[in-house]
Structure 1
Amino acid sequence: MQDRRFHPARRRLPAAAALVALLGAAVTALGPVPARAAPSAPGDPVLPGIGCGPNSMIEKTLDGGTTWRMCWRYESKAGLVLDGVSYQPKGEPRPIRVLTTGALAQIHVPYDDGKAEYDDLTSYGFGDGVQPLAPQECPGGVIKQVKLPRATPVNGLCVTTRASGHAYRAAADAGDKVWTAQGKDLLVYTVNKVGWYEYITEWRFAADGTIATQVGATGNLSPFDYDAGDDRGWPIGKGPKSKATSHSHNVFWRLNFGLDGSSKAKVQQFDSTTVNKPGEPPTTTTRGTDVTKELAGNTAPQRWWRIVSTAGRNGDGHPRSYELVLGNSDKYPGRPYTRNDVYFTQYNGCQKFASHNTDCGGGTSVDSWVNGQALEYPIVWVNVGFHHVARDEDQTPMPVHWQGFRLSPRDVTAMNPLTPPELADQNGQPGMPPPAERTGR
C-alpha cells in the first residue's frame, strides 16, 4: 500500500508528538470498577457525582439554569474522552447521569483509487497530533492543558460557550405576548493533526439536555494526491489535468450510556409506516421494538432508536431515555464495519475502536462483535461517513466540513426544562376552547 500520509514532506506533527509516535505510546489503561448499587459497565470509569480533580473537571451553568458536569481525559489514540457526563436542569434536585463514557472510536480514510487507506486513531498518530490553541480560537472560554505520555504538555482543550440561536418561541393565542429565548451551548473541543488534515472534535451541550458531537475536517488537501484517474478525482487548479483524488472520511463514536447512574439499559427501535387508501387520508402508525440482542442497524425513512434508563423516571413517571438523531451520512460499502450506521454491542472492556482494535480477541472490528449476545450493558457505536470529492474552494486552507449526530433527551424531564414560569402549569393537554372558537391547528 502506498503510504501517502507519511511521506517525509507531508508529516508535520510537532517534534515531541512525532517522538511519542515513534516510541509507540500506549493508550491509558482502565482498571476494573468495583460493583455498586447501580453499576456502570465494568472497566469504564465510574465517577460518583463528579469524582475527578479540578484540572479534569468541566462544570458550566447555562442560561436558563441548566448545569452540565463531566470529567475529561486524553488518550494517545482516542484523543479527547469524556466521562461521567451529567445534566441538571433547573428544578431537578440532583444531577441526571447521561453518559459513563463518550469518545471517538475511529476515523477511517480510504482513497477512491484503492492505493491508500488509513485508520487515523489506531495507526496514524491521531491522539499524538493534538494542536496548541491560540486564545482567539477559544473566545470567552478557557484553554486547558493536555498531557501526553513522554511528551511536552499542549494547551489543547477549549471549554467555552457558543450561541445556538432560538431555544424556543411561542406566541400567545390572544394579545401580543411572545415567549422566546436565545440559547447558548457549552462547547468542548480539541484539534488534532494527521498528515495534511486537521480534525476538530466538538462536543456541544445544550440547556434543553441535547448533546451534539461532530468532527470537522480542515487543513489542506494532500499535494501528493493530484494524480486521480477518470471518475476518481476532481480537477483542482488551472485546467483539467491535475485531479485531486476523492476519498472518504468514516467517523465512528463509542458511547457507554449511564442513565441515572447505571449502564444497565434498554435499547428500542421505532419504525413508522404510512398507509394510503383510495379516497381516504393517509394514516401513519409508529411501533417500538425492544432490541434485546446485539444489532448492526441501518437508518431508514421514519426509523430511530433510543436508549432507555432502567434506573430512573421523570416527574410524569415515564422512563428517561436519549434518542439517537442521525443526520446525513455517505455510507461507505468498501469494508464490513462501514456498512452499518449504528451498532449495539454488549459491553466488553477491550473493545474501544471500531476497526483495527488489536488489543482485543475475537475480531478487530465492530461488525465482528455483533454475535447475538443479549444486551444488558449496551455500547452504542455510531458511524457517519462523508465522501470528499474535492473542489476548487478546498484550497487553501480547506473550509471545515462537518459530520456528526445528536443525542436528544426523550422524557428526561416532565416538561421543557426551559419553560417560562407562567407556562409551568401546561403539562399535558392544556385547556382548549370549544371547537367553534378554535382557529388553525
Structure 2
Amino acid sequence: MTYRTAAAAAALLTAATAMAVPSTATAAPAPAPCAASNMVKETLPNGTTWQLCWRMNDKAGLVLEKVSVASQRYPQSVQVLDSIRLAQLNVPYDSGDTEYNDLTTYGFGGSSLQTLTGDDCKGGSARVGSDGSEQPERRKVLCVSAEQSGLAYRSADDRAVLSKAGQDLVLRAISKVGWYEYVTEYRLHDDGQISARLGATGDLSPNDYVNADRGWPIGKDARDFAAMHYHSAFWRVDFNLAGKGHEQVEQYDSKLDGRGTTATRLKTTRTAITKEGTFSKVNQRWWRLVSPTSRNEDGHKRSYELVAGADDRYEGHPETKPDVTFTEKNACEKWATENTLDPACPRDKKSILDFARDKATLTDPVMWVRVGFHHVPRDEDQSPMPLHWQGFDLLPRDFTPMNQLTPDTRTGANGAPR
C-alpha cells in the first residue's frame, strides 16, 4: 500500500535532466528517443534513474516506450522495454446477459481519458499531452510522482545494521468507461523492478442488479443484489534488453525429486520455448525472457522474470484461460481479443489464440499477460468504490551483478563468501 504525503512525494521527485553529454568532442550526441514533452527522466533519492517515452493511444490509453534504467552503482543506462501497454479489458457479467470489451469498444484514450484534477496527482507532476484521439486535445493526462515503497532491504551483522527505504517512480492515468473509472499505473522501482497495475474505482453500475445467485445484496436487508462480474485485463509487453532485442523465452518448473538426508529434494528444470504458444501457471512454474547477447559484469545473460500475482481465471472464453502467451512480433497483432479494427490487417487473427496458432519460431517475442479479477460486490463498494487492483511484476534477473542498491560496505559480497 502506498503511503505518502504531498510534501514527502514532492521532495522525492526530481526535475527532468538533460540528455547525456558526449564523452569526446567528436562523438555525435545520441538521438533523443522522443520529443522532450513525451520524455520522463527522473532520478530517485537512492540514485536510480529511469528514462522513458510516453504517449496516449485512443484504445490502450497510457503507453510506455523505450524504458531504460541506471543506478549509482551501475551508471550505464540499459534498456529494458521497447513498449508496454494494456491490450484488452474483457468484462462479462455473471448473469450472462452483459459483456464488454472496454478497450476495443470504448477505449481508454480520447474522451474516456480524464483530465487530472483535485487529488488525482497530489504531490506529483501532472504532465500535459495528447489524449490520443484523431483530433488530439492537449490536457493534463499523466501523473508522474515519486512514492516511498516501504523497506527495500535490511541486513544485520556484528558490525552494523544496513536498512534502506525504497522509492518508486510512478506513472498513472485515469480513464472513465461507463460507471467505472480505471487507473492505469506503472511503478518503476529503484531496484529495477517494474510493476504493471490496473485499478478500478468509480461506481457500481445502477443498471446491473440481479437475483441472489448472480449478485450480492448491498441494500438494506436481503435486496438490491449488485451483479457479480469479471475484469480480465491483458497487457502487451515487448522487451528490448540492452537495446539488442531478440530475447529467448524460458520456462522453469520445480518438482519433487526424492529424499535428501533431512528433507524432500526439489529439482528445477529449464524448458526453452522456441515456438509461439499459450501457457498457464502451475505450482512452482515461472517464465523469463533472456537476452542471448547482453551480459552483466559477472558474465551472466541479462533477463527479466514474469512474476504473476493474484488472479481469477475466467473460464467462459478460451482466450481468457491462458495466463501468458508468447508470439512473434507482428505489427498487425495489436489487441488480445477483437483484433479486427485495422482495415490494413488480416481479419482472421482475432485473438491471441489466432496469433499463436501457427506456432511460428520465436525470434523477437512479444509477451501477452492476462490477469483476472472476479468482482463480487460488497456494501463498502458504494460510493465511490474503493480502488481494487490487478496486475503483475517484471523482476530483473541477472540484469546487474548485484543489487542495484547495494551499499559500498557490501560490494565485496559477490558470490560465495571466501
| TM-score greater than 0.5 by the shorter chain | yes
Once residues 376 and 422 of structure 1 are traced to their aligned partners in structure 2, the CA distance between those partners, rounded to angstroms, is 41
Confirm whether residue 88 of structure 1 aligns to residue 70 of structure 2. Answer: yes
Confirm whether residue 415 of structure 1 aligns to residue 397 of structure 2. Answer: no
> What does the per-residue CA deviation read over 1:353-403, in whole Å, with 9 as the maximum and x for residues that have no partner?
101111242321111111211100100000000001111110000011100
Q: CA deviation at 1:156?
A: 1.3
Deviating above 3 A after TM superposition, structure 1's stretches of 4 or more consecutive aligned residues are: 275-280
* Residue equivalent to 1:313: 295
User: Scaled by the length of structure 2, what TM-score is found?
Assistant: 0.88
Once residues 161 and 76 of structure 1 are traced to their aligned partners in structure 2, the CA distance between those partners, rounded to angstroms, is 27
Once residues 278 and 88 of structure 1 are traced to their aligned partners in structure 2, the CA distance between those partners, rounded to angstroms, is 42
* Residue equivalent to 1:153: 138
**Which of 96, 105, 122 is matched with 2:104 structurally?**
122
* Residue equivalent to 1:237: 219
Identity within the alignment, %: 47
> What does the per-residue CA deviation read over 1:99-151, in whole Å, with 9 as the maximum and x for residues that have no partner?
00110001110011111111101102322211111253223321011313325
Once residues 335 and 364 of structure 1 are traced to their aligned partners in structure 2, the CA distance between those partners, rounded to angstroms, is 13
Q: CA deviation at 1:281?
A: 1.7
Letter in 2 for 1:179: L
* Residue equivalent to 2:385: 398
**Which of 354, 362, 369 is matched with 1:368 structurally?**
354
> Would the aligned equivalents of 2:37 and 2:129 in 1 still touch at CA under 8 Å?
no
For residues 105-144 of structure 1, what are the structure 2 equivalents within 5 Å?
105-128=87-110, 129-134=112-117, 136-144=119-127
Once residues 407 and 136 of structure 2 are traced to their aligned partners in structure 1, the CA distance between those partners, rounded to angstroms, is 50
* Residue equivalent to 1:191: 174
> Would the aligned equivalents of 1:135 and 1:143 in 2 still touch at CA under 8 Å?
no
Once residues 89 and 317 of structure 1 are traced to their aligned partners in structure 2, the CA distance between those partners, rounded to angstroms, is 19
> Would the aligned equivalents of 1:218 and 1:398 in 2 still touch at CA under 8 Å?
yes
Gaps of 5+ in 1: 1-47, 432-441
Confirm whether residue 291 of structure 1 aligns to residue 277 of structure 2. Answer: no
> Would the aligned equivalents of 1:325 and 1:406 in 2 still touch at CA under 8 Å?
yes
> Would the aligned equivalents of 1:118 and 1:124 in 2 still touch at CA under 8 Å?
no
Gaps of 5+ in 2: 1-29
Q: Which moves more between the two structures, 279-288 or 162-171?
A: 279-288
Letter in 2 for 1:363: K
> What does the per-residue CA deviation read over 1:331-373, in whole Å, with 9 as the maximum and x for residues that have no partner?
0011111011000001111111101111242321111111211
* Residue equivalent to 2:22: none
Once residues 75 and 223 of structure 2 are traced to their aligned partners in structure 1, the CA distance between those partners, rounded to angstroms, is 65
Where 1:136 maps in the other structure, the secondary structure is coil
Where 1:165 maps in the other structure, the secondary structure is strand
* Residue equivalent to 1:9: none
* Residue equivalent to 2:367: 380
* Residue equivalent to 1:166: 151
Letter in 1 for 2:326: F
For residues 33-112 of structure 1, what are the structure 2 equivalents within 5 Å?
50-112=32-94
Bigger proportion of residues as strand: 2
Q: Which moves more between the two structures, 407-416 or 229-238?
A: 229-238
**Which of 216, 241, 244 is matched with 2:199 structurally?**
216
Letter in 2 for 1:387: H
Once residues 298 and 331 of structure 1 are traced to their aligned partners in structure 2, the CA distance between those partners, rounded to angstroms, is 10
Q: What is the root-mean-square deviation of aligned Cα atoms in Å?
A: 1.5
**Which of 289, 293, 313 is matched with 1:331 structurally?**
313
> Would the aligned equivalents of 1:103 and 1:254 in 2 still touch at CA under 8 Å?
yes
Where 1:122 maps in the other structure, the secondary structure is helix
Q: Which moves more between the two structures, 189-198 or 269-278?
A: 269-278
Where 2:305 maps in the other structure, the secondary structure is strand
Letter in 2 for 1:295: G
Letter in 1 for 2:349: G
Once residues 306 and 151 of structure 2 are traced to their aligned partners in structure 1, the CA distance between those partners, rounded to angstroms, is 22
Once residues 129 and 312 of structure 2 are traced to their aligned partners in structure 1, the CA distance between those partners, rounded to angstroms, is 32
Where 2:415 maps in the other structure, the secondary structure is coil
Where 1:137 maps in the other structure, the secondary structure is coil
